[in-house]
Amino acid sequence: MAIRTSKKLPSGRAFISYAYQDEEALEQLNNVLQTYSVTPKPFPPINVAPSEMISNELIDSIMDCRSLIYIDTPNAQGSRWVTLEREYARRSGKPVFLYNPETALIELDERPPLDLPVFPSYTREDKEKVDWIIKFMREERFFDIFLESQDLTAGDSWIKKIESAMYDRLKRGGYTVLFWSSKAAQSKWVQKEVEASLTDFPRQVFVSLLEDVDPPLALMEKQALRLYGEGPYGLDYRRVDDLIVYLYWFMQEQVSIKGEL
């Protein structure tokens, strides 16, 4: 089978992003690339401890390649990890290609990177734990996430600044991430932020549990992600990975919805 391409071809080492259900399509692509100067680098399933993040090794693997090729199938379109891999490569300036197994066509995917706006809602009682998460998301995973320590300056009206930061991100298709704990449940500011988000953007609130506590009553029907565990800060770092890939995927869905309107 000859490779077909509408534009530029990948070359050198290429990270292969695919859903693990698509092993047959992966084998097909590997066979196609054998006749060209492309070394495919798929990422195998791995297991890590609660103190480690799968995405760290994954990102290192992407950055070790010249480009990324993702296998475009319904399985991949529904995969949060494929979304993360593709969008991280795009954000890093790597050429991104898509491969269609039905047509054997490789195309350069020239879509712009995802906008990744996030507003974190949490109580200062949980600041040490949450700060690590949101700084990591901002500095290592390209999120446009509000950080009080960096985004508030002397003389700012902090209430207006925080409200503006939240609404700006939600209007752009981002999410309020509620970091929920027994202490957050007692915070009037957290309650106000959640109520404001739910009033105008009810689908754009995501609950992350810092402790084994029930989420707010208004959010009981929404999916809640457990972050607590046996790693540093009382967190399971694998679940922090889950938070990141969920948000990448949710924001990709927001883009798809807007494109269909």
Provide the whole-model pTM: 0.90
* Measured distance CA(195)–CA(173) in Å, rounded: 18
Tokens 């752009």 correspond to what residue? 172
The predicted pLDDT at position 182 comes to 96
Same domain, 161 and 98: no
DSSP symbols for 68-128: EEEE-SHHHHT-HHHHHHHHHHHHTT--EEEEETTTTEEEE--PPPPP-EEEEE--GGGHH
Q: How confident is the model at residue 1 (pLDDT cuts 50, 70, 90)?
A: very low
- pLDDT value, residue 258: 63
Domain span at residue 68 reads: 4-108
pLDDT-based confidence at 259, cuts 50/70/90? low
Residue 88 is predicted with a pLDDT of 97
Same domain, 186 and 121: yes
Into how many domains does the chain fold? Answer: 2
Same domain, 21 and 86: yes
One-letter amino acid of 176: T
CATH code at position 219: 3.40.50.10140
Q: Which of 108, 128, 144 is the last residue of a domain?
A: 108
pLDDT tens-digit series, residues 144-193 = 998 875 555 545 556 787 888 899 999 999 999 999 999 999 999 999 99
99 and 198 co-located in one domain: no
pLDDT band of residue 5 (cuts 50, 70, 90) is very low
| Percentage above 70 pLDDT, the chain | 92
Compute the Cα dihedral for 8, 9, 15, 19 and give only its sign: positive
Q: Are residues 124 and 98 in the same domain?
A: no
Q: What value does the mean pLDDT of the chain take?
A: 90
Instruction: Please say which residue of 108, 128, 155 terminates a domain.
Output: 108
Q: What's the whole-number mean pLDDT along residues 192-217? A: 93
Radius of gyration in angstroms for the set of CA atoms belonging to the chain, rounded to a whole number: 20
Sheet holding 12-17, edge to edge: 4-5, 105-108, 96-100, 67-71, 12-17, 38-42
- Of 73, 89, 108, the last residue of a domain is 108
The answer on pLDDT for 252 being more than 70 is: yes
Distance CA 6, CA 22 (A): 23
Letter for the amino acid at 203?
R
Token readout for 167 is 């609404």
